[in-house]
């Protein structure tokens, strides 16, 4: 039986970045495919699920978020900036480029581009809301820049569809992994996902 993990994500999430490489490792180990599904979390998922964008959260929650990010970046060995220069920044174009990469190059191309986009934002202090920067990252990912941008019009419907699917499947945050209809919210639940994959 084919194992497939639905991966609801946004490059604007440090938690998504912290789990991205580990997700790839787990799925490779257990011969599982990844369906990467960028979604519009802030504008569409949060309003119907009770979530709040970071600037609107209580100071206590914002402070504890930094504590947890520090713990997890040490554990994962990732040089993640806790308060990057270009955050928050619009990520719709970045999400659509990930979808375009998936359409043209499949899972590997999309996952590689997603990782490089998150590296740019969370490690390299680059603005992934800026088109010239995005074009550079696409090129650095070994993908044809003009081809991906030509594909952008074909990504609007999937982006909206993935977001609506997330809402219908009770997603309320990212990263969110679904395997055989079992939900796993957050990169700190990847061990449970791995157990599910191993048992299937």
Number of domains in the chain: 1
User: Is residue 1's pLDDT more than 80?
Assistant: no
Quickly state the pLDDT bin for 128 (edges 50, 70, 90).
very high
Contact 129, 86 (CB under 8 A): yes
User: Residues 47-65: pLDDT tens digits?
Assistant: 999 999 999 999 999 999 9
Predicted pLDDT of residue 98? 98
Quickly state the pLDDT bin for 138 (edges 50, 70, 90).
very high
**What is the average per-residue pLDDT within 177-183?**
97
Among 62, 100, 79, CA closest to 21:
79
The rounded percent of the chain whose pLDDT value lies above 90 is: 98
Contact 178, 8 (CB under 8 A): yes
Predicted pLDDT of residue 4? 98
- d(CA 110, CA 159) in angstroms, rounded, equals 14
Verify cis geometry, omega within 30 degrees of 0, for the bond prior to 88: yes
User: Residues 100-119: pLDDT tens digits?
Assistant: 999 999 999 999 999 999 99
Query: Model pTM?
Result: 0.97
The structure tokens listed for 79 are 């040089």
Structural domain for 56, as ranges: 3-199
- Phi, psi angle pair for 35, to nearest 5°: -100, 100
User: Residues 3-47: pLDDT tens digits?
Assistant: 999 999 999 999 999 999 999 999 999 999 999 999 999 999 999
Quickly state the pLDDT bin for 73 (edges 50, 70, 90).
very high
Contact 111, 99 (CB under 8 A): no
Q: What is the mean pLDDT of the chain?
A: 97
Residue whose entry in the numeric block shows the structure tokens 């998504």:
16
Helix orientation angle between 14-29 and 190-199, rounded to the nearest 10 degrees: 20
Which CATH number is 39's domain given?
A: 3.40.30.10
């Amino acid at each position: 039986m084919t194992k497939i993990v639905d991966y609801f994500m946004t490059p604007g999430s440090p938690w998504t970045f912290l789990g991205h490489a580990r997700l790839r490792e787990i799925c490779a180990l257990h011969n599982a495919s990844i369906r990467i599904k960028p979604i519009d979390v802030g504008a569409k998922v949060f309003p119907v699920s009770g979530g709040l964008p970071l600037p609107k959260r209580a100071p206590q929650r914002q402070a504890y978020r930094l504590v947890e990010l520090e713990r997890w970046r040490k554990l994962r060995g990732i040089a993640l900036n806790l308060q990057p220069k270009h955050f928050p920044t619009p990520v719709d174009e970045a999400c659509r480029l990930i979808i375009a990469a998936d359409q043209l190059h499949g899972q590997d191309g999309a996952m590689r581009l997603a990782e490089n986009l998150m590296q740019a934002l969370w490690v390299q202090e680059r603005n992934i809301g800026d088109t010239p920067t995005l074009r550079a990252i696409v090129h650095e990912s070994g993908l044809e820049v003009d081809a991906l941008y030509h594909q952008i019009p074909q990504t609007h419907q999937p982006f909206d569809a993935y977001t609506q699917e997330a809402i219908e499947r009770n997603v309320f945050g990212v990263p969110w992994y679904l395997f055989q209809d079992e939900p796993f919210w957050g990169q700190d639940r990847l061990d449970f996902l791995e157990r599910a994959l191993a048992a299937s």
